[in-house]
Amino acid sequence: MREELFQSYNYIFEEELLEEIDKIGTYREFKADDYLIEIGDYIKSMPLLLTGAIKILREDDKGDELLLYFLERGDTCAMTLTCCLGNAKSKIRAVAETNGALIMIPVEKMEDWLTKYKTWRNFVFDSYNVRLKEMLEAIDTLAFMNLDERLYKYLTDKAKVIGKTEIHNTHQEIAYEMHTSRVVISRLLKALELKGKIKLNRNNIEILEF
């Protein structure tokens, strides 16, 4: 855990804080598609992502999901911070996009470190700011982009997060995350292929143009 922690966060936190995190944090590995946080859970710890990628989702009254943003190495989730500090139930679902590992920080330490460490305070505020921008971007995408533009952005964002140009999600999985039907997604993917932006292979979608 120590090596991964220092590799992921040594550019953010001073060594004294890293030592505390290493001492009191709970290390957890996860696999792709694992559910890490569920809607309605009380959050008692804050996750610091060491490796891998996690997608953050919202759910409507019908049970349909909407992708809000991805978390990568060195990130945390602003909504988790809010739930921890306010002792509130989670409003989001966190699902692993890839295999990875994280450290869970007890909520009482989060509060202590806000006054004890300037780097921690800056990290928390910066995390709120970054996640707010990503959520506003998600709203703008829904409000102002056509579905084909949204689909292409979804594909390129996912490719950047996983660090690969091949995406192995099925058309149905993409449709579910984008709140539409498989038939619509399949049609739009074919249109993107004809434009030379992607290539549809038997078991993956290859991004040709960013």
Q: What percent of the chain has pLDDT over 70?
A: 96
**Beta-bridge partners for 105:** 46
Rounded to the nearest 10°, the torsion over CA 190, 183, 56, 11 is -10
Mind listing the pLDDT tens digit for each residue in 123-167? 988 988 888 888 788 788 777 778 899 999 999 999 998 888 999
Point out the domain boundary residue: 124, 143, 162. Answer: 143
Point out the domain boundary residue: 111, 143, 175. Answer: 143
Residues 139 and 150 grouped into a single domain? no
What's the distance, Cα to Cα, between the start and end of the chain in Å?
34
pLDDT computed for residue 1 by the predictor: 65
Residues 34 and 54 grouped into a single domain? yes
pLDDT computed for residue 67 by the predictor: 84
Range of the domain at 195: 146-207
Residues 56 and 113 grouped into a single domain? yes
Q: Judging by DSSP bridges, how do beta strands 65-71 and 54-59 pair with one another? A: antiparallel
What's the CATH code of the domain at 177? 1.10.10.10
Q: Judging by DSSP bridges, how do beta strands 100-106 and 26-30 pair with one another? A: antiparallel
Mean pLDDT of the chain: 87
Residues 181 and 114 grouped into a single domain? no
pLDDT computed for residue 202 by the predictor: 85
Say whether pLDDT at 201 is over 70.
Answer: yes
Say whether pLDDT at 190 is over 80.
Answer: yes
Q: What percent of the chain has pLDDT over 90?
A: 42
Q: How many distinct structural domains can be found in the chain?
A: 2
Question: 57: closest CA among 82, 83, 38?
Answer: 38
Residues 114 and 197 grouped into a single domain? no
pLDDT computed for residue 77 by the predictor: 81
What band does 98 get if pLDDT is binned at 50, 70 and 90? very high
Over residues 3-19, mean pLDDT: 86
Rounded to the nearest 10°, the torsion over CA 90, 120, 70, 40 is -10
Point out the domain boundary residue: 115, 143, 171. Answer: 143
Residues 150 and 92 grouped into a single domain? no
Residues 174 and 95 grouped into a single domain? no
Q: Please, are residues 200 and 190 in contact by the beta-carbon 8 Å criterion?
A: yes
What's the CATH code of the domain at 117? 2.60.120.10
Residues 111 and 130 grouped into a single domain? yes
Residues 44 and 67 grouped into a single domain? yes
pLDDT computed for residue 19 by the predictor: 92
Distance between CA 190 and CA 7 in Å, rounded?
41
What band does 99 get if pLDDT is binned at 50, 70 and 90? very high
Say whether pLDDT at 84 is over 70.
Answer: no
Residues 164 and 138 grouped into a single domain? no
Residues 105 and 193 grouped into a single domain? no
Residues 22 and 122 grouped into a single domain? yes
Mind listing the pLDDT tens digit for each residue in 40-68? 888 888 899 999 999 988 887 777 778 88
Over residues 194-208, mean pLDDT: 91
